[in-house]
């Protein structure tokens, strides 16, 4: 994988068909990075298409350009056509093509130049001709900002692009409370504010834009589905399909739920497992030196960041929870 700075001449050479894509079930960082990059590249006259492997939370629909994003699962034919005709594909906020779910085989077959911009560990570097992978960055949105700033056209960051990029950084830093919030992040936000960004509106769009049922769902989950294992400094939330149906939970409604148990004194590891149709989806968050990336990779077919990772299981909800409880004994020393 060659350095991403070598991409600049390619995007200035002439009009190209460019696809921008991200991981399945995109969060604010994935969607904000994609739309922020699209707004920048539009200034060169390229034919641009943003493709999401799946649907996304409704609270992201405010983002400029979100209405034109193609949902591969809902509309596979235009998505496949865009990928097949693409001359360049930007792959944002995922480290392996498998994280694009059923879109992955089409990306693998594509002969387009593939460019990676991502901050997850252990990237599938051989799948990309150009790119940057930096686990020290707070978010992919910060990396897209860097990509724009280091070009010859940093002035092309519009207010609309600033809104998208701010959403990504804000969400991935936990509203700027995580360790990944560096001085560079604050300098980025200061610049976006100078452009004219009204940051409080973005917070409202993302965090104050849910339906009543979601709040009642959270209350139900914290009261009835959260288990605390103080002997392992661990909390577990297990959510059944029945719970999802009862409260009419949609994509995005469980966003951030895994972080709640970390507010409990002494808890170092929080785990959330949700019974989805095709598999059980795990989320892991930690404080301190417990490596959730290694934990997810070793036991739950996943990975991610040091303190924030995801995984999956083909086992039943009860069986995968039992396995989680069993493996806690193997990592007991790390958790204590």
Q: pLDDT per residue over 279-312, tens digit each?
A: 999 999 999 999 999 999 999 999 988 999 999 9
- pLDDT (tens digit per residue) in 236-276: 999 999 999 999 999 889 999 999 999 999 999 999 999 98
Does 277 score more than 90 pLDDT? Answer: no
pLDDT, tens digit, 9 for 90 and up, residues 175-188: 998 889 999 999 99
Task: Note the pLDDT tens digit of each residue in 64-83.
Answer: 999 999 999 999 999 999 99
Distance from C-alpha of 318 to C-alpha of 80, rounded to nearest angstrom: 37
In the chain, pLDDT over 70 holds for what percent of residues?
Answer: 100
With 90 as the cut, is the pLDDT of residue 336 above it? no
pLDDT value, residue 291: 95
> Rounded to whole angstroms, what are the CA distances from 241 to 78, 215, 275?
31, 18, 5
User: Where are the domains positioned within the chain?
Assistant: 2-207, 212-335
Fold of 2-207: inorganic pyrophosphatase (n-terminal core) (3.90.1640)
Mean pLDDT over 4-8 rounds to: 95
Give the per-residue SS3 of 205-229: HHHCCCCHHHHHHHHHHHHHCEEEE
Alpha-carbon gap, residue 40 to 133, rounded angstroms: 20
Residue with tokens 């288990």: 227
**293 in Cβ contact with 305 (< 8 Å):** yes
Question: Which residues contact residue 227 at a Cβ distance below 8 angstroms, ignoring those fewer than 6 apart?
Answer: 235, 236, 237, 238
34 pLDDT above the threshold of 90: yes
pLDDT tens track for 206-247: 999 899 999 999 999 999 999 999 999 999 999 999 999 999
Measured CA to CA, the distance from residue 288 to residue 325 in angstroms comes to: 21
Residue 14 has pLDDT above 90, yes or no: no
d(CA 186, CA 175): 12
Give me the pLDDT at residue 278, please: 84
Dist CA 228 CA 36 (whole Å): 40
CA distance 229 to 220: 19
Mean pLDDT (the chain, rounded) = 96
Angle in degrees, 0-180, between the axes of helices 183-195 and 140-149, rounded to the nearest 10: 60
State yes or no: pLDDT of 6 exceeds 90: yes
CATH class of 212-335: alpha beta
According to DSSP, residue 329 is labeled T
How much of the chain, in percent, has pLDDT values that exceed 90? Answer: 93
Q: What confidence score (pLDDT) does residue 121 get?
A: 87
- Residue carrying structure tokens 């906020």: 93
Instruction: Return the ∠ at Cα 105 (arms to 100 and 255), rounded to 5°.
Output: 10
Q: How confident is the model over 118-142, as a mean pLDDT? A: 95
């Amino acid at each position: 994988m060659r350095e991403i700075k070598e991409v600049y001449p390619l995007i200035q050479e002439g009009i190209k068909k460019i696809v921008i894509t991200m991981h399945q079930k995109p969060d604010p960082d994935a969607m904000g990075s994609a739309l922020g990059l699209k707004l920048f590249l539009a200034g060169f006259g390229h034919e641009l298409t943003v493709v999401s492997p799946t649907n996304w939370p409704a609270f992201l629909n405010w983002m400029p350009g979100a209405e034109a994003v193609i949902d591969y699962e809902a509309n596979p034919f235009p998505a496949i056509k865009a990928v097949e005709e693409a001359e360049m594909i930007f792959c944002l906020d995922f480290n392996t093509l498998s994280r694009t779910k059923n879109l992955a085989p089409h990306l693998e077959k594509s002969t387009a130049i593939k460019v990676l911009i991502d901050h997850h560990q252990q990237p599938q570097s051989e799948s990309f001709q150009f790119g940057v992978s930096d686990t020290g960055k707070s978010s992919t949105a910060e990396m897209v900002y860097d990509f724009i700033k280091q070009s010859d056209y940093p002035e092309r960051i519009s207010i609309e692009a600033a809104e998208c990029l701010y959403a990504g950084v804000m969400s991935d830093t936990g509203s700027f409370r995580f360790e990944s919030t560096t001085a560079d992040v604050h300098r980025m936000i200061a610049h976006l504010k100078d452009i004219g960004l009204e940051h409080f509106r973005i917070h409202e769009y993302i965090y104050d834009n849910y339906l009543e049922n979601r709040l009642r769902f959270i209350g139900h989950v914290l009261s009835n589905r959260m288990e605390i294992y103080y002997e392992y400094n661990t909390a577990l939330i297990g959510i059944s399909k029945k719970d999802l149906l009862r409260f009419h939970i949609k994509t995005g409604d469980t966003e951030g739920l895994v972080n709640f148990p970390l507010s409990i004194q002494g808890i170092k590891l929080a785990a959330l497992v949700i019974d989805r149709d095709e598999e059980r989806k795990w989320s892991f968050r930690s404080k301190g030196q417990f490596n959730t990336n290694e934990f997810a990779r070793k036991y739950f077919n996943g990975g991610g960041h040091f303190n924030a990772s995801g995984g999956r299981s083909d086992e039943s909800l009860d069986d995968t929870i039992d396995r989680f409880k069993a493996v806690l004994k193997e990592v007991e020393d790390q958790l204590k």
